Structure 1
Amino acid sequence: MVYRDMMRRLQSLFRQYPFVTVTGPRQSGKTTLCKMAFPDLAYANLEAPDQRDFAESDPRGFLAQFPDGGILDEVQNVPDLLSYLQVFGDERGKNGYFILTGSQQFRLSDAISQSLAGRTALLRLLPFSIVERQRTEASLAIDDMLHSGFYPRILDQGLEPVRAHADYFETYVERHVRQLIELQDLSTFRRFVRLCAGRTGQLLNISSLGSDTGVSHTTARAWLTVLEASYIVFLLNPFHANLNKRLIKSPKLYFYDVGLASYLLGIESASQIATHPLRGALFENLVVAEVMKHRLNRGLEPRLCFFRDSSGLECDLLYESAGGIGAIEVKSGATVSSNHFGSLNRVGELISDISVKALVYGGSARQARQNCELVPLHELAGLLELIEADKEVSQFIAARQGSEPDDAAEKTLDAVFSSHIRSAIAGIDTACSPFATSLFRQSISTGYVRLGSAQHSSSGLLDSSRWEQTKANLNLSRAFTLKDANPLELEYSYRLNDYTGINGPCCDISMSAKWTLGSDGFRRTAEINGKSIPALTMSVSYSELNRRSAEVDLLRAEISQAIIEEIADGPADG
């Protein structure tokens, strides 16, 4: 069995949800994937008449067979069973209960939205990707891939592509379509699907398609909906944005499997493709489907579109991810000229979010050309992996860096420092200076900055000339926030040592002021020799910074008076 790229995502989601639903085309490998991912789970196929009858007639008894959960295949055949699954899942109250599969996305989606919304993760499994095809040792020649396609059974068992696709299509028309609509004229429907194949990669004109088929616009629309519901075709929507340009509004038509499209075009061998007029369209179909598989296999929404304006400026595929938009142009030829990059660069100028530009082509050499990557088809998966990996790396690093840089917090700190702290420090120096020069042999001033367990202190730490360096040393200019639970503290201390005046000796004097910055404001306190100076306590909200001054005159007066009292109250001469 071939390892599927979706397996790791499937196993991860099963640990997070009670149910995981895997949808996709018939024969895309859903059952094989689920059994391979969960070999110990019980299994039931609701395509089997006896199993389907049991589930319909006695749903509780049917589910009682699976006390430990299981894999229920083609669950859209018994949509009412999902309501009972909801009850069973809620009663169990644990994740990892049932894996559900289905091949009719609209019918199954309706049932899920009514019963299991919020309880199931959704995955879509398409036929093999190029990397998965390589694991089967099948040919990776472009024309071989366009001819044989990517259905697992064809590649695993080495089936003849034309015969296998013919059987697939006839079984689909006779059985699958008739489950969805009342189809009376099979030959006309077959003609409609073949005409769709002839429009691969083209803008959808439903009126023209209906007219060429010989049916009404309404019937053509209904039949197209059936093809979408059963994973035969999909529509790629155009890019929409306010670019002051007239953008095309019609979607483009593609097949989920390019090999089926080739069969419907009447291609019977890979050798026919080299000169076929639609080779370029089929190659484009292969690339678009490959990018879609890359996203879906990782449990991500495709988020793909194309760009075309009314003047004919076009980009085949815009690939949106968290890291920006990748612009991908597709050329089937093995040789690329410089003018092939013109439209990519013009679209890049129009859409500012484009971060990667690549031209996927039929050659073999990887090159960097005119601000674009020239990527051979066999390296497309690597390019997509790199785009996703770069995004994952940046997200991983960001998650472990903590908070994003908080410019607002730094600006608030700077405002407090300039309007209150620096002026208050100048006031403290002015008040202490006369005593220092006349009554003490030594004076020492020290600044302190504390945040959590980090602390810096030095004589000039809170000088204006060193402020930027102080912030950098404590990472106060990047990735910090002001919080009440872990406030930022700035302190200024002025110490007077060795009293020389009369009526001594006097004790040394230590004067300090501290600013504690929280989330909404700061609080200033002051002490002399460990005793609070209540008159200098103040609380200021950041919103009041422009209206509240540092009250420097009061600060100078109170400090001077406090020093006088400390000297006067000192020990008497013995």
Structure 2
Amino acid sequence: MYIKRHLETTIEKLSGCCKVLLVTGPRQVGKTTLLRRLAEGNRTYVTMDDINVRSLAMTEPGLFLQRYKPPLLIDEIQMAPKLLPYIKMYVDEHGNNGDFWLTGSHAFDLMENVTESLAGRIAIVHLLGFSHAEVAGLGAGAFVPEEKFLLQRDVRALTQVNDELQFYRFLCAAASYTGSMINYAALAKEAEITAPTAKQWLKVLAAAGLVYLLEPFMHPNLKYGVKAPKVYFTDTGLAAYLLRWSNAEILEAGAMSSSFLETWAVMEIYKSFSNCGQIPPLGYYRDFNSREVELVLNVDGSIHTSFGDPQKLQPGERNEEV
């Protein structure tokens, strides 16, 4: 059964105005499937998982581009970073929009190489797992609260993990924080690592697209707000697996049901913006008295909160709900 991805329209628009398109995201979310379907056989496809193709791209990148002519879809581009400068030279000379479609894991090294080699020539979009709206066949669009729609392998390489069991303990401990404000010292103690290591590993999970760090909403007139981010696993199924929740019924009756519901809701809203090619304008507010606005959307100068009806959060004024 084919499920239309909301990112399709964004990809087609960006490909029409940019010379290179990169789709990043965690493994197995459908990056290659999506682009190959959109290409409809009108684009040469090569994957760097093929050792012969990868060897040519790394040792003879100029020859690679002579053999594989655009329009071209290159899968797993992070495995052949030496190809990026040659793609830059090619698009600078020929200047055709949509010549190159790339896929890659959202890794530090990949993004650094792309930024250095293809600045001003590339559009980057991020694909996550299916949203509820996609599965339900609903229309695409960035979420804004309205009355009718209220709010209710790469990682190991990046972290240079030597002890996989220790890293697995960290993953399980991190999953227990989904929907919660992160406490690096407590997380480190649970995982039996240092606090700086816990902070670095969590950033790596965010770079790999496995977690989303929701930063606090800041304003000069909003005082007494905490500065630690909240953490959300982008895939609630993965979080449930790590925490050994065996089925949905047990999880719903368990102590973390509200945290998982919040995680799901926040990620649905995140995906609604990401699928439109927008940076999600999300944050949260919590003061030192533990009063919290779970989600704040800053859209076109209007501040919407997670209490349902769109309402202005007035910086500098004391608000008992906040």
TM-score (norm 2): 0.88
Distance 2:67 2:135 in 1: 36
Q: Provide the residue aligned with 1:282 in structure 2.
A: 260
Q: Provide the residue aligned with 1:234 in structure 2.
A: 212
| RMSD of aligned alpha carbons | 1.9
Q: Provide the residue aligned with 1:264 in structure 2.
A: 242
2:55 to 53, 56, 65: 53
Q: Provide the residue aligned with 1:99 in structure 2.
A: 101
1:199 to 156, 171, 177: 177
Larger Rg: 1
Q: 1:58 to 1:251 in 2, by over 3 A?
A: same
> Number of paired residues?
300
Distance 2:98 2:156 in 1: 34
Q: Provide the residue aligned with 1:384 in structure 2.
A: none
Q: Provide the residue aligned with 1:68 in structure 2.
A: 70
Q: Provide the residue aligned with 1:44 in structure 2.
A: 46
Give 1:31's aligned amino acid: T
Cα offset for 1:313?
A: 2.3
Q: How does 1:409-448 map to 2 (within 5 A)?
A: none
Q: How does 1:66-465 map to 2 (within 5 A)?
A: 66-135=68-137, 175-322=153-300, 324-329=302-307, 348-351=312-315
Partner SS state of residue 181, structure 2: coil
Partner SS state of residue 180, structure 2: coil
Distance 1:178 1:308 in 2: 33
Give 1:219's aligned amino acid: T
Query: Where is the strand percentage greater, Structure 1 or Structure 2?
Result: 1
Q: Provide the residue aligned with 2:17 in structure 1.
A: 16
Distance 1:329 1:66 in 2: 53
Distance 2:195 2:301 in 1: 41
Cα offset for 1:278?
A: 0.4
Q: Provide the residue aligned with 1:5 in structure 2.
A: 6
Q: 1:329 to 1:102 in 2, by over 3 A?
A: farther
Partner SS state of residue 80, structure 1: helix
Q: How does 1:440-519 map to 2 (within 5 A)?
A: none
Distance 1:297 1:234 in 2: 15
CA contact (8 A) 2:233 2:239 kept: yes
Partner SS state of residue 219, structure 2: coil
CA contact (8 A) 2:175 2:242 kept: yes
Larger RCO, structure (CA 8 Å, separation 6 or more)? 2
Cα offset for 1:323?
A: 5.7
Q: 1:349 to 1:116 in 2, by over 3 A?
A: closer
CA contact (8 A) 2:26 2:210 kept: yes
Distance 1:259 1:83 in 2: 38
CA contact (8 A) 2:126 2:274 kept: yes
Give 1:294's aligned amino acid: S
CA contact (8 A) 2:44 2:69 kept: no
CA contact (8 A) 2:108 2:207 kept: yes
Partner SS state of residue 298, structure 2: strand
Deviations 1:274-316 (A, max 9, x none): 2110010000000111111000100111121111112222111
Identity %: 34
Cα offset for 1:60?
A: 1.2
Cα offset for 1:222?
A: 2.4
Distance 1:323 1:224 in 2: 31
Structure 1 stretches (4+) deviating beyond 4 angstroms? none
Give 1:280's aligned amino acid: S
Partner SS state of residue 215, structure 1: coil
Distance 2:67 2:315 in 1: 55
Distance 2:67 2:278 in 1: 33
Can you give the 5+ residue segments of structure 2 that lack an aligned partner in the other structure? 139-152, 317-322
Distance 1:208 1:270 in 2: 27
Deviations 1:305-337 (A, max 9, x none): 11111222211111122262221248xxxxxxx
Q: Provide the residue aligned with 2:36 in structure 1.
A: 35
Cα offset for 1:185?
A: 1.2
Cα offset for 1:118?
A: 0.6
Can you give the 5+ residue segments of structure 1 that lack an aligned partner in the other structure? 137-174, 331-340, 353-574
- Indicate the larger mover: 92-101 or 276-285: 92-101
Partner SS state of residue 99, structure 1: strand
Partner SS state of residue 52, structure 2: helix
Cα offset for 1:73?
A: 0.9
Cα offset for 1:54?
A: 1.6
Partner SS state of residue 25, structure 1: coil
TM-score (norm 1): 0.50
Distance 1:271 1:178 in 2: 33
Give 1:130's aligned amino acid: H
Give 2:302's aligned amino acid: G
Distance 1:349 1:182 in 2: 43
Partner SS state of residue 187, structure 1: helix
Distance 1:65 1:283 in 2: 50
Cα offset for 1:12?
A: 0.9
